[in-house]
């Protein structure tokens, strides 16, 4: 046993021929003591208790069924030998003695074997848990080291992830509409991805319109990329799957990765609609960064960057990021209605009287898929736009009923939206509605402008 806590044996056990020799010696010792102590009845078959039966009991407990039965058989054989010698008291056999000795040896040995099997199963389970614990401990230590290195690198950076994306968006807003955003912003894109992925050698490559081939010349690079083979296995796999792909660490360690690809990872820039713009080919990155969390972060950043590059210029000019997000989702709901006949609901709650408590209550009522956009309209009233994606008109009515219940619980049963000075306006995005009707609802009824919501 490796650990004293896992050693459940009473004494060290012999194995092989030594155990058989021990069985013979212990059984012979029991018979010899019988001849020495009670020569008139060596096996004490006629006494108050047959003490020689302790030999098969002890051997059965120590070695199991086979040794216990063998020892009991030796005692029974000794009975027949004494009967053959016509020793007094053994001329007539006692069947109960013979059966009892054999049953004791077999029963104790079988119980011992049963518990040994159970203990071995428990020991195997415990060893597996210990193995998993050791594996987890090693992974935890590696993660701690990686986290410390990442923390030091991020602490030395003067930009957060959000500020980096906002800076990229501001650069994109300053570009002309007809400009090539990918070429113009290739350097800051590669710099941002290189910062958060600790990339040493990497390059950004444009993908053709058919999304089947990668152009040879990099738009921007970190380090010296060198020639990029068009038949590179990782590039082909990335174009085929349309997702992040990387070489397994085992192949890199064994040196067999070069047979498949000269790269470590390929990160595609794919927008929310699945359009592939470019590929970031990574040739070298440090060991601590080459893990799933870092690669997933790079893939997430690449998706956000692709959304920015493909974003509607009209939406991009909106000053608020919340307004941009709301407008994008509103346009997506319009596309769902026009192409897939999936309805949505749009509400506008205009607060004619200032009520901060009501405003906070309305904000807390937001569900998982709902989108809220608080704005001030042309009438100088606070207005809350609520978009309910994938919601039928019946579901929109249920939403209003839920708002009414919240008001009753918070302000009392006599209160409703009208009594609190809230004007409710609604527009159902369903098959048959057009964008002009939506614009009329937003710009005329709600009193908004195209700098707040662009449709």
Q: Which domain range does residue 278 map to? A: 161-311
Using the predicted structure, report yes or no on whether residue 1 has a pLDDT greater than 50: no
Asked if 336 contacts 281 with a C-beta cutoff of 8 angstroms, the reply is no
Using the predicted structure, report yes or no on whether residue 347 has a pLDDT greater than 90: yes
Is 340 contained in some domain?
Answer: yes
Q: Could you give the residue ranges of the DSSP H alpha helices within 285-432?
A: 292-310, 313-316, 321-340, 356-364, 393-411
Say which residue, 289 or 182, is predicted with more confidence: 182
Measured at the alpha carbon of residue 183, what is the angle toward residues 180 and 189, in degrees to the nearest 5? 120
207 and 110 in a single domain? The answer is: no
Q: Could you give the CA distance from residue 51 to residue 72 in angstroms, rounded to a whole number? A: 12
Q: Domain boundary residue among 262, 287, 311?
A: 311
Measured at the alpha carbon of residue 217, what is the angle toward residues 211 and 218, in degrees to the nearest 5? 85
In DSSP terms, which residues pair with 221 in a beta bridge? 203
pLDDT tens per residue, range 74-99 = 888 887 777 777 677 666 777 777 78
Closest CA to 265 of 241, 283, 277, 239: 283
3-state secondary structure of 277: strand
Q: Domain boundary residue among 265, 290, 311?
A: 311
- Ranking 150-159, 174-183, 262-271, 358-367 by mean pLDDT, the lowest is 150-159
| pTM exceeds 0.85 for this model | no
CA 223 to centroid of chain Cα atoms: 34
Residues 6 or more apart whose CB falls under 8 angstroms from that of 273 comprise 310
Using the predicted structure, report yes or no on whether residue 240 has a pLDDT greater than 70: yes
- Ranking 108-122, 173-187, 413-427 by mean pLDDT, the lowest is 173-187
Is 18 contained in some domain?
Answer: yes
Strands 276-284 and 344-351: unpaired
Asked if 93 contacts 49 with a C-beta cutoff of 8 angstroms, the reply is no
Q: Domain boundary residue among 129, 145, 177?
A: 129
Distances (CA, A) of 159 to 73, 162, 166, 167, 196: 85, 8, 10, 10, 11
Asked if 76 contacts 68 with a C-beta cutoff of 8 angstroms, the reply is no
201 and 301 in a single domain? The answer is: yes
Using the predicted structure, report yes or no on whether residue 166 has a pLDDT greater than 90: no
Closest CA to 56 of 100, 10, 113: 100
Q: What is the mean pLDDT of the chain?
A: 80
- Ranking 54-68, 181-195, 309-323, 428-442 by mean pLDDT, the lowest is 309-323
Using the predicted structure, report yes or no on whether residue 7 has a pLDDT greater than 60: no
Confidence of residue 235 (pLDDT cuts 50, 70, 90): confident
Q: What is the mean pLDDT of residues 132-146?
A: 88
CA 88 to centroid of chain Cα atoms: 80
Closest CA to 427 of 416, 414, 417, 440: 440
Is 215 contained in some domain?
Answer: yes
Predicted local distance difference test score (pLDDT) of residue 18: 75
**Percent over 70 (pLDDT), the chain:** 85
> φ, ψ for residue 6 (rounded to 5)?
-100, 0
Provide the domain count of the chain.
Answer: 3
186 and 273 in a single domain? The answer is: yes
112 and 202 in a single domain? The answer is: no
CA 101 to centroid of chain Cα atoms: 60
Residues 6 or more apart whose CB falls under 8 angstroms from that of 193 comprise 199, 202, 267, 280, 298, 301, 302
Confidence of residue 250 (pLDDT cuts 50, 70, 90): very low
327 and 256 in a single domain? The answer is: no
Radius of gyration (Cα) for the chain, nearest Å?
41
CATH number at residue 438: 3.30.70.2880
Q: Which residues of 260-284 are buried (b: 16+ CB within 10 A; e: fewer)?
A: ebbbbbbbbbbbeeeebbbbbbbbe
Structure tokens of 195? 């910062």
291 and 193 in a single domain? The answer is: yes
Using the predicted structure, report yes or no on whether residue 20 has a pLDDT greater than 60: yes
pLDDT tens per residue, range 196-210 = 888 889 999 998 888
**Percent over 90 (pLDDT), the chain:** 6
Q: Could you give the CA distance from residue 161 to residue 127 in angstroms, rounded to a whole number? A: 43
Say which residue, 246 or 158, is predicted with more confidence: 246
Predicted local distance difference test score (pLDDT) of residue 425: 92
- Ranking 113-122, 246-255, 415-424 by mean pLDDT, the lowest is 246-255
Q: Could you give the CA distance from residue 300 to residue 164 in angstroms, rounded to a whole number? A: 14
DSSP strands (E only) in 48-157: none
347 and 425 in a single domain? The answer is: yes
Please state the length of the chain: 455
Asked if 45 contacts 97 with a C-beta cutoff of 8 angstroms, the reply is yes
307 and 319 in a single domain? The answer is: no
197 and 300 in a single domain? The answer is: yes
Residues 6 or more apart whose CB falls under 8 angstroms from that of 279 comprise 204, 205, 207, 214, 235, 238, 239, 266, 267, 268, 269
- Ranking 314-323, 335-344, 422-431 by mean pLDDT, the lowest is 314-323
Predicted local distance difference test score (pLDDT) of residue 160: 59
Confidence of residue 346 (pLDDT cuts 50, 70, 90): very high
Helix, strand, coil percentages (3-state) for the chain, rounded to 5, are: 55, 15, 30
Q: Could you give the CA distance from residue 425 to residue 418 in angstroms, rounded to a whole number? A: 12
> φ, ψ for residue 437 (rounded to 5)?
-65, -40
């Amino acid at each position: 046993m490796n650990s004293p806590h896992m050693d459940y044996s009473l004494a060290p056990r012999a194995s092989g021929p030594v155990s058989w020799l021990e069985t013979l010696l212990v059984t012979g010792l029991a018979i010899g003591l019988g001849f020495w102590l009670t020569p008139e009845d060596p096996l004490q078959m006629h006494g108050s208790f047959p003490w020689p039966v302790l030999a098969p009991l002890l051997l059965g407990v120590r070695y199991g069924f086979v040794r216990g039965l063998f020892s009991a058989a030796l005692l029974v054989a000794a009975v027949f030998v004494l009967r053959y010698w016509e020793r007094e008291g053994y001329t007539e056999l006692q069947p109960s003695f013979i059966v009892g000795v054999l049953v004791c040896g077999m029963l104790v040995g079988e119980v011992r074997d049963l518990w040994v099997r159970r203990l071995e199963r428990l020991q195997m389970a415990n060893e597996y848990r210990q193995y998993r614990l050791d594996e987890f401990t090693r992974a935890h230590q590696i993660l701690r080291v990686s986290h410390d290195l990442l923390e030091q690198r991020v602490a030395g950076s003067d930009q957060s992830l959000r500020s980096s994306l906002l800076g990229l968006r501001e650069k994109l807003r300053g570009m002309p509409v007809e400009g090539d955003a990918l070429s113009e912003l290739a350097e800051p894109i590669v710099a941002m991805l290189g910062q958060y992925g600790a990339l040493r050698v990497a390059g950004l490559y444009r993908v053709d319109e058919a999304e089947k081939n990668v152009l040879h010349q990099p738009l921007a690079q970190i380090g010296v990329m060198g020639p990029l083979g068009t038949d590179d296995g990782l590039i082909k796999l990335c174009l085929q799957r349309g997702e992040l792909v990387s070489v397994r660490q085992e192949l890199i360690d064994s040196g067999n990765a070069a047979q498949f690809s000269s790269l470590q990872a390929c990160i595609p820039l794919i927008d929310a609609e699945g359009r592939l713009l470019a590929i970031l080919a990574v040739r070298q990155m440090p060991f601590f960064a080459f893990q799933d969390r870092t690669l997933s972060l790079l893939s997430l950043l690449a998706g956000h960057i692709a959304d920015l590059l493909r974003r509607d210029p009209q939406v991009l000019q909106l000053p608020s990021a919340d307004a941009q997000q709301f407008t994008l989702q509103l346009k997506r709901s319009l596309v769902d209605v026009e192409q897939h006949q999936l309805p949505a609901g749009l509400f506008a709650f205009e607060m004619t009287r200032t009520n901060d408590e009501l405003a906070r209550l309305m904000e807390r009522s937001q569900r998982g898929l709902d989108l809220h956009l608080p704005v001030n309209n042309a009438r100088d009233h606070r207005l809350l736009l609520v978009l309910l994606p994938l919601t039928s008109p019946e579901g929109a009515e249920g939403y209003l009923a839920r708002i009414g219940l919240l008001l009753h619980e918070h302000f009392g049963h006599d209160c409703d939206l009208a009594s609190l000075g809230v004007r409710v306006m609604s527009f159902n995005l369903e098959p048959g509605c057009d964008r002009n009707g939506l614009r009329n609802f937003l710009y005329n009824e709600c009193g908004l402008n195209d700098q707040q919501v662009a449709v």
